[in-house]
Chains A and B, each alone.
Chain A
């Protein structure tokens, strides 16, 4: 047979030329952990977590599955003892590289609390990591039972200032693992070109502009970087610490702003929108949102919402019951229609409401008022 196929963990899968091992695995629901891969962008192979073992004629070989194209008859193992042992090393180095003060790092002879206190003192951090329980690094550390630093106090603190001079997000580079997902998201997905890798070696970090803050760069606060960050380096400012993933219900809907129709997930807790994220892989936006779609939802729970009908009496709008208001409207509409003719009446329906609302508005105008004077602000 001339079919392109590879073997992963003993099972055979077909593939298209050019597909990477990771893509084939993902298409077939085989979980290869990774921390830097981002769909739709160039593979960087930066995190090394997605390594897999290849059986070659001369022996074994470890490669990063995100950047290795599949070849006919390749034999791949995703969780071999060797793969797992290397993943543990990489995860340990990452945990050790920054202020990851979750209990992951706890050594056997130190209780959680002692470790925590020690780590926070050592790191000069008073806050717990804001993504505790919602962190891909932490999840993998649990999965592979990796401990970070041996003791809370063992290393020089990473003293990087937390950047929060903008209204939408917080950047804490002391929690960054330099996976580069945010850089790819900003430069290749949203193409805003606001952030990049800066400096070299031990000083390497993600910089905004030429080393300023996001507020002074070309950042437009689309929040794509927050959505892709696997750790706590980039977090939304809004509702910080609230709406943990296991506490919220996620409802998919369509964005209420421009006509692109981005698919959003509303994260709901206690009848309130806690945050909004893009629906990964869903057309048309493929997970992307803009600043309004991601952060402009406060109007929903605003105290200024109208909650009662108002009728103008003696020049002043006063609260009225629904019955009173709708009877009045119905009476006036009928009166004007009968006295002046239906064509002296008009309805402005709305490009903001649903198809169902619009359909009913035109049905009402034509079937009840008996005029075709209906329009909306398509032209404005």
Chain B
């Protein structure tokens, strides 16, 4: 997030898109809902009528996979009506002319044809967004999990820059991160192309400084490949081993049948986890680790706030901290990697990570600090880009609408979109151990509109077979007012009816994120 969670409550207008916030970020949603209660404008743009719509000034319903079009449509209206922030654009951005040229053809009428959003709604939201003193954008996987995910995000950044809503309280472009430490895993260099704090592995300078800090030579300069490509290579027999720590790709990855064959192809698979999962079941070696309540350390949240995790209980005998297991393997491979405790590791992190340099466990004992925090006297940075962007001037990207990789057909007439429900988390390995959560959400379901259900001659509770070009699952139908005709939602939590057997593994060329939010499916009554 460029801004903070609390900051949302001070916004004059909040645009939420591709985020089922009340179910996926329940506590963050309270800040948005409180703003709406105070009379601040809330607009929700989402293929589903998510619960947040109840408090919204308006719900805009785009056809799945048409986000660039409606965002360009908003910008078209804003520029046409001369509502853009000219001083901000002049002082802080570049390439505005190229943007202006591309959005010129995205008239509200044209956008209505692509997205299904009424032209007058595009005009209303454009005017309100531009005129608001401070407007925040919140987005989530509904924006990113597309083959054009990167372009979707850039389009939202365009929109915010166009109106000068970046770098100030109540504004910003705010991705809501879905996992407790996904921000931290990225910050720590758990990515194929960067060390900590996004220092490129291809940079000689960065590598040299790491070689010195780690007392090694020959750190590889070639960027690695993302997990989605590892799976492809494994499928093709070109990948030999994987070491999976605390993840369950056999439920969370797209096109699971394909992923299963890929993992089975590996010569050696090591999985480190707290439970047996669909992925540990395939492993050559399983290593038991400690969980969150059993160890000390830090998580970095969606607003870049580094916070303490504290050991509260002793873990089961036999399990060990993840870092301790990894260090032990390293030592057995001849590299001396030894730490007294995780605090010592954190000190090393700060020494090699410019954005974390000023953070200490003492400083974040009661209140976490937002990175960047370059030195110990620095208070942290709750709001990014206040005076300039990371690259200097903010760059407008001129982006055209791109249709999803897979289209509906006679054989697969419905669009499937996937996501989570309030009562479960990801692949359920943790939440399924709480009886109450299972009671509230016991099994997979196929969310369908009343109209579509009627057409199929089926009602809530009917067992159906759902198939795509890649796989098939069975689950019960759930007629819901959240669903719009033609679009089906299935949560991906349930291994027994894994929605990811259906999903498309086609990737965004830049971020390598799979198009989990759009694929074509068919629904038939189960025999």
Chain A residues proximal to chain B, CB less than 8 Å: 166-168, 188-191, 220-222, 237-238, 251-263, 266, 268, 271-273, 282-286, 288-293, 295-302, 304-312, 317, 322, 325-330, 332-334, 336, 340, 342-368, 370-380
Contacts and interface: CB of A to CB of B under 8 A. Distances in A.
A314 B374 CA distance: 53
A256 B311 CA distance: 13
Interface string B310-349: 1111111111111101111110110101010010011011
B435 A298 contact: yes
B300 interface: yes
Contacts of B312: 251, 253, 266, 268, 273
B138 interface: no
Do most interface residues of chain A lie in helix, strand or loop, or is the interface mixed?
mixed
Contact of B342 (A328, A332, A354): A354
Given A326-B328, A366-B210, A358 B185 contact: yes
B6 A284 contact: yes
A299 to B, nearest CB: 4
Contacts of A258: 24-26, 177-180, 302, 425
Contact of A354 (B6, B299, B437, B513): B299
Contacts of B326: 357, 360-361, 364
B358 interface: no
A288 B27 contact: yes
B295 A354 contact: yes
A379 B505 CA distance: 12
The range of chain B's interface size is 35 or more
B294 A300 contact: yes
Contact of B333 (A266, A322, A333, A351): A333
A224 B431 CA distance: 20
B322 A284 contact: no
B220 interface: yes
Contacts of B292: 253, 256, 300, 352
B224 A254 contact: no
B399 interface: no
Given A293-B27, A359-B349, A380-B252, A368 B301 contact: no
Given A261-B302, A306-B288, A326-B328, A354 B181 contact: yes
Given A220-B422, A346-B242, A356 B349 contact: yes
Interface of B: 4-6, 22, 24-28, 30, 33-34, 36-37, 55, 144-145, 176-193, 195-196, 201, 210, 214, 216, 218-220, 222-228, 230, 233, 238-247, 249, 252-253, 267-268, 270, 273-276, 280, 283-289, 291-295, 297-303, 305-323, 325-330, 332-333, 335, 337, 339, 342, 345-346, 348-349, 366-368, 422-423, 425, 429-431, 433-437, 439-440, 511-514, 516
A225 to B, nearest CB: 14
A351 B182 contact: yes
Given A290-B27, A293-B27, A310-B286, A357 B245 contact: yes
Contacts of B323: 354, 356-357, 359-360
Given A306-B319, A333-B329, A380-B252, A261 B189 contact: no
A378 B300 CA distance: 13
Given A259-B183, A326-B329, 12 more contacts: A191-B55, A296-B430, A297-B293, A306-B274, A343-B220, A347-B242, A348-B247, A351-B182, A355-B299, A367-B219, A374-B224, A380-B252
Contact of B318 (A308, A347, A359): A308
B245 A350 contact: yes
B436 A295 contact: yes
A359 B224 contact: no
A288 B28 CA distance: 9
Given A322-B320, A350-B246, A352-B181, A299 B429 contact: yes
A356 B181 contact: no
Contacts of B516: 380
Contacts of B317: 307
A344 B26 CA distance: 40
Contact of B5 (A253, A260, A289, A312): A260
A309 B286 contact: yes
A260 B304 CA distance: 10
A346 B230 contact: yes
Contacts of B512: 379
A349 B19 CA distance: 25
A293 B30 CA distance: 15
A111 B316 CA distance: 48
Contact of B285 (A309, A353, A374, A380): A309
Given A221-B440, A261-B299, A356-B323, A336 B268 contact: yes
Contacts of A370: 218-220
Contacts of B297: 354-357
Contacts of A346: 224-225, 227, 230, 239, 241-243
B271 to A, nearest CB: 9
Contacts of B434: 295-299
A327 B303 CA distance: 40
Nearest to A279: B366
B245 A372 contact: no
A260 to B, nearest CB: 5
B420 to A, nearest CB: 9
With most chain A CB atoms within 10 A of its CB, the pick from B5, B195, B241 is B241
B232 to A, nearest CB: 11
Contact of B293 (A295, A300, A356): A300
Contacts of B6: 283-284, 286
A261 B368 contact: yes
Contacts of A302: 275, 433
Nearest to A325: B285
The 8 closest A-B CB pairs, nearest first, are: A261-B301, A167-B436, A354-B297, A372-B224, A350-B246, A259-B177, A290-B26, A306-B288
